[in-house]
Structures are given as C-alpha cells and as structure tokens.
Amino acid sequence: MVESFTAVEIISVKRDRQELSDSQIDWVINAYVRGVVADEQMSALLMTILLNGMNSRELSRWTDAMIKSGERMNWSALDRPTVDKHSTGGVGDKITLPLAPLVAACGAAVPQLSGRGLGHTGGTLDKMESIPGWRASLTNPEMLKALQDCGAVICAAGSGLAPADKKLYALRDVTGTVPSIPLIASSIMSKKIAEGTSALVLDVKTGNGAFMSEPEDARRLANAMVELGKRAGVTTRALVTAMDVPLGLTAGNALEVRESLEVLAGGGPADVVELTILLAQEMLDAAGVSGKDPESALKNGSAMDHWRRMVRAQGGDPNAALPIAREKKLITAEESGVISSMNALQVGISVWRLGAGRERQGEKVQAGAGIEIHAKPGSQVNKGDPIFTLHTDEAARFERAEAALSGAVVIGTSPVERLPLVVTKIV
C-alpha cells in the first residue's frame, strides 16, 4: 500500500505550530493502529500536541478518527432513551454505582462502559468486581439484553470500541502525555460517542485529587468535551465538581460498594447523595425524561430493585457478603480542633498503596483494601479521636500507606474555604 504521508512530515507540522489537515489526522490515527506509525513517532506527535495544542477542527477530526478505528454501538432496539455519565476520576467517587440503577428506575436506559483504576483514582469495574460472582465482560447482545431487562448495565468496553484509544492511552501513560486537554477530551469522548448513547452527562472533577486540579483547566476540558459531544449529535452537558476532599466516607473497592448500598437504601453520606441526585436529574433531563423524582426512587426502594437486577444479570449475588480486608489500622487526631482540610490526592495515594489500586497494568487489586473516613473537614475533633481506618490484606503495606497521609489532614481553629460541590455547569 502506498502511504499518503510520512509520520515525520506530520510530527513536523505540529512541532512548527501549524495545523494538521483532516487527511493528515485520518492517516496518522489509522496508520498508528495498523502499526505503520511507530510508538516513538506517535510519542513525539503526542508531545507536540501536549505542548502546542489543537484547534477545535483538529480536535473534532482527531476524535472522529479514533471513533472510526472501531465499531459504533447502537441501542435503537430499546424502547427507552439512552443516557450515560462519565466522571474524569477522583477519590471515593463511587457515584456510578447508585446512579446507573437510579436513572434506570426513573425510566432511561444507562449503557455504562467503565474503566479500571488509574493511578490514585479508583475504577468502577474494580469496585463492581468486589461483588462475588459479578463479571465485567459482556458481548454486545448480552449488553442489549441487560439493558432491556434491567435498564442499566455497567461493563468493560470490548476490544472493538475505539481501539486507537487503547493504544494511544497506553502510550500516553508511559510518555508523560496524559495531562493534555485535547488528548483527554478525545480519549474520553471517542469512547463515549462510540458507545452509542444519545445523551451524556460529564462529571469533570477539579481540586487536588483530580487530573485537572485547577478549576479553570477543568472548565476548559469540560467545554471541549461538550463541544465534541454536540458535534457528534449526542446531547451533552457537564458539571465541574469538587475533588479537593474525598467523596463520601470511603475510598477502596468493596468499601465503596458498601457505601453505595447505603445510598440505594435511602441513607449514605450527604455529599454522595447530593451528587447522585444532581447527576440523575441532569441525565433524565438530557434524555428528555420528565416527571420523575430521583430522590423518591432512592427512598422507595425502586433504585435498589434495579441494582439487584443489574448485579444478578451479570452473575453477581446481591445478597453475598462483601469481602473484608484481613488487617485494620486506626489513625487518630494528633491534636484537638476543627478539621480544616483533607487532601484527596494523599488519601487516594494511600488507598492505592493499601492494595486497592495497581502498581502495574494487569495486576490484581485487593477487594477489601481502602480507607474509611471518620471525620471530614468542618468536624470538631479531640486529640485521639478516630480520623481514618486503613484496611488491607497485608500489614506490611501500612507503613507506606500511612506515610502518604502525612500532613493530609490539617486541624486548626476554623474550616478553610472549600470548593462548592458543583463549581460550574456547562450546557
């Protein structure tokens, strides 16, 4: 086959801060998936994009080329509108677990293709896999059946969905090219658009525990993704939400499932409940479903019924006891006062070191590992009061996990200003 371009030509365009043409973008993504563009060449191109950016035409074409590298799913056989939510990742962010069955209980279908933990942030599939018997991999017909029967499905993306992203993401992970707004936006949106949802709500996290720690960067990322979604015909909106403090009172796989069950039973921590309801309202509105009240679906048990059906449909036993870590360690307040801050990133790193996340790709995670939080910013504590309980199967992990928490909790006389739960909304 005669190639239309060379990788060096294309790298030079972006190196010299020029625009890539549509045909150059189509070629480079396709040629990379075919193995004609080598990893070292794509790494150089990704770095030029990280440094020099892409305009909105380039970004839209780049995202389209990634979508076209694989299949595009279709849910037109369903009798309900489809809507999905995507979070850019945070610490203790278990919202998908109560949210998907909640939105299903209110009449929309939720085809959730989720991921595994990335760095200090947890992954929905790792959390769901702590439920005995539950399996993440479904074929497309199995996914359709689960959506028809339960209204919601949470599963892994198959290898046919945006394969360009799988290759590019793995390369970005090892070449320092993850934190680029166009690269993150195209990576997330190529998968979400290929997933075939007709509406999408993005939860873009900001604060020290998020990939975009500055609210202004998070807003730019949210804008870029909303524009990509709209261009592709998906009703898309975004909430930029706080990730300066962990969400809820748990971080870690089975611990987060337990907390999600509390929310589905009508209880749970106020911030998790508030964000779940807000996102459910946005999703139902984006899907054109009116007259449903997510708050009452949590209180009257219908969201819990959908959860149980959804777990069973994927081989899980909703009545089975969740795994518990073998070892526990209590961390207490070093002084009396009011907790003025709790660093989400440090808590996330500690949870990761306890065994809830991976050191290397493909590693098994510990289902029971994680942190329970006993007091959050604004709480008055006395010296010796419990702040965290660390959970792990291997006591040898406590030392490094505790080291990660050094200085994570500041106790003073008054709470410092926190980010509001919803920082901005983009429609």
Q: By CB under 6 A, name the binding residues for ligand URA.
A: 88, 169, 178, 183-184, 187-188
Q: Minimum distance from CB of 195 to ligand URA (Å)?
A: 12
User: Distance between terminal CA atoms of the chain?
Assistant: 44
Q: Minimum distance from CB of 182 to ligand URA (Å)?
A: 10
Q: Minimum distance from CB of 409 to ligand URA (Å)?
A: 27
Report the alpha-carbon distance of residue 427 to residue 422 in Å, rounded.
14
Q: Rank residues 136 and 178 by Cβ distance to ligand URA and give the closer one.
A: 178
Encoding tokens for residue 96? 């998908």
- What one-letter code names the amino acid at 161? L
Among residues 14, 85, 86, 391, the one annotated as catalytic is: 86
Report the alpha-carbon distance of residue 70 to residue 163 in Å, rounded.
6
With 0-12 CB in 10 A as exposed, 13-18 as middle and 19+ as buried, what is 172? buried
Helix 163-173 × helix 22-34 angle, to 10°:
80
Q: Rank residues 236 and 392 by Cβ distance to ligand URA and give the closer one.
A: 236
Q: Which residue has the tokens 């899980």?
A: 316
Q: Rank residues 113 and 367 by Cβ distance to ligand URA and give the closer one.
A: 113
Q: Rank residues 184 and 409 by Cβ distance to ligand URA and give the closer one.
A: 184
The separation between CA 246 and the C-alpha centre of its own chain, rounded to angstroms, equals: 14
Encoding tokens for residue 170? 């793995």
Catalytic: 187?
A: yes
Report the alpha-carbon distance of residue 252 to residue 347 in Å, rounded.
10
Q: Minimum distance from CB of 310 to ligand URA (Å)?
A: 23
C-beta of residue 203 within 8 angstroms of C-beta of residue 86: yes
C-beta of residue 366 within 8 angstroms of C-beta of residue 393: yes
Among residues 120, 127, 166, 172, the one annotated as catalytic is: 172
Q: Rank residues 44 and 183 by Cβ distance to ligand URA and give the closer one.
A: 183
The separation between CA 73 and the C-alpha centre of its own chain, rounded to angstroms, equals: 20
Catalytic: 172?
A: yes
Catalytic: 353?
A: no
User: CB nearest ligand URA: which residue?
Assistant: 187
Q: Minimum distance from CB of 367 to ligand URA (Å)?
A: 23
Among residues 14, 85, 120, 191, the one annotated as catalytic is: 191
Give the residue numbers annotated as catalytic, written as ranges. Answer: 86, 165, 172, 187, 191
